[in-house]
Each structure stands twice: as C-alpha cells, then as structure tokens.
Amino acid sequence: LSLENELRNALANQEFELYFQPQVHINSSEICGMETLIRWQHPSKGLQYPDQFIDTLEETGLIVPVGEWILKESCRLVSSWLKAGLPPIKVAVNISARQFTDPGFLRSVEKTLAATGLPTEYLELEITESMVMGNIDESFELLQKLRELGVTLSIDDFGTGYSSLSYLKSLPVDILKVDRSFVMDIPNSQSDMEITAAIIAMAHKLQLKVVAEGIENPEQHDFLNQNNCDYGQGYLFAKPLTQKELIEVLNKQR
C-alpha cells in the first residue's frame, strides 16, 4: 500500500489522533491556551509524527479533508470541555497552505463553529508567512473575514519565512509565534537574544501579542519574561499531551 492510500484509509478508519500542547502566560506560567498537534496511530507501526506524513498529505491534497477533520475535532473537543466546566482555554489549530487557499475554507470554519457550538473567541488559527505572501490581496481579504468572525489569527514559525516587514504593519493578525530556532540557543547566542527581543518589541509596537515556541529551560523563560514576551510554549511547561493528560492538567489548575 502506498503512503497516500494508507493515509486515505487512516482518515476513513479514524486513525488520526489529536494531541494538545499547553501554552502559558509567560509571567505566571498559568495555562492560557493549547495548540492542536496531529498524530497517526498506525495499525502496525504505532504512533507516527507529522514529519512522517504531513508532506504527503499536502502533496496529495488529502490535507484538505484531514485538516477539516482536525479543525472540527478540535472545536468539538474544546466545546465539550467548556460545557463540562473545565477552565476555559483557547485552542490554536495549524492550517496548511492547501487548506488556506481552498475556496471553501472560510465557509468550513463558519460551519464548524456553528456545528460544534464553540464560541468563536476560543478558536485561533495558525498560518505561516509564506501562505500569506503567495497572494497578498486575496489572503488579506480572507484574514479580514476570519477576524470578522471573531477568530484569533497567529503567524506560526515567525522569522523563518520570507515575509516582508512592510506587509506586517497592515497584516490583519493578532499574534506572532517566534520560531523555536530563535529560542533554542538562548542564553548562549547573543544574536538570537537580540533578534528575539527585537521581534517582541516590534510586535508590541504593532499591537500584536507574542508566543515564544520551544522553551525548554528556565534561562530561556527568564529571558523571555524580562523582555515582556506574552505567552510561551515548550517542554519546560508541557509536551504535547493526550486528551486524557490535558484534562488532568486542566483539572489541577481549577
């Protein structure tokens, strides 16, 4: 069986699973959100990570139906947790380029919110710089419409794509996610510290919030706190968790 056909079966047989990585307020370490990360429970090979299958999903276009499932399942779960009285936190869902440029995307977000009953303010969509830069006029319009729905928008892997700073000032988004590659070598790399501090300062001047990714040690956390980073995500706080593990963590926090 080709990987493509295996992935087709995986969707039909519900072999995909959602993990959730908590995001925290940098200054208190309290959980304020989570990012959905897909995994594939392969019938014979066990748990598969996105680097083993995301590219194939993209190339085959399967990412559109799979991405729709990820969005719907994320909204459905978070809506049910809210109804069960767990502490209210937002969910950030990664959107792939193929999904973003699919003409049905806006409609599918609207339908998903309506069908799952998730209040719009609990949904965040993560897109990347290159997705926006491909077709600036069209993507600005789409981002604007998503925002009008009340969805929060963030730029994932910020600093690694080739976006132009001149567009950033008018880009209709709410959050920049500083890529893990800038955080990784703090506190040893002076230049990475300068860049990270500059991204945070620039974002704040543009009224954007900042999430730092890949925080693994207290030195990185301290540096980001001293430089007024808003939110953080990384193994120091929590790894991507199963639904059961996430619910345990949320229950402890209430």
- Token look-up 């990347």 returns 128
Residue 152: CB minimum distance to Na ion, A: 16
Which residue from 35, 68, 156, 230 is in contact with Na ion, where contact means CB under 5 A? Answer: 156
Query: Count of residues binding Na ion (CB under 5 A)?
Result: 2
Task: Determine the Cα–Cα distance for residues 87 and 251; give it in Å rounded to an integer.
Answer: 8
* End-to-end Cα distance, the chain: 47
- Comparing CB distances to ligand G, the nearer of 54 and 206 is 54
- Comparing CB distances to ligand G, the nearer of 79 and 94 is 94
Query: Quick check: 156 binds Mn ion (CB under 5 A)?
Result: yes
- Token look-up 């567009």 returns 167
Query: Quick check: 126 binds Mn ion (CB under 5 A)?
Result: yes
Residue 94: CB minimum distance to Mn ion, A: 5
Which residue from 48, 74, 94, 196 is in contact with Mn ion, where contact means CB under 5 A? Answer: 94
Phi, psi of 106, rounded to the nearest 5 degrees: -55, -45
Query: Quick check: 124 binds Mn ion (CB under 5 A)?
Result: no
- Comparing CB distances to ligand G, the nearer of 84 and 203 is 203
- Comparing CB distances to ligand G, the nearer of 70 and 113 is 70
For 56-123, the DSSP string reads HHHHHTTHHHHHHHHHHHHHHHHHHHHHTTPPP-EEEEE--HHHHHSTTHHHHHHHHHHHHT--GGGE
- Comparing CB distances to ligand G, the nearer of 211 and 250 is 211
Report whether the peptide linkage leading into residue 87 is cis, meaning its omega lies within 30 degrees of zero: no
Per CB under 6 A, residues contacting ligand G are 21, 36-38, 49-50, 54, 67, 70, 94, 96, 156-157, 180, 213-216, 233-235, 240
Query: Quick check: 74 binds Mn ion (CB under 5 A)?
Result: no
Structure tokens at 209: 């919030």
Q: Which residues of 213-239 are buried (b: 16+ CB within 10 A; e: fewer)?
A: bbbeeeebbebbbebebbbbbbebbbe
Amino acid at 238: A
Query: Quick check: 73 binds Na ion (CB under 5 A)?
Result: no
Residues near Na ion (CB under 5 A): 156-157
Residues near Mn ion (CB under 5 A): 94, 126, 156
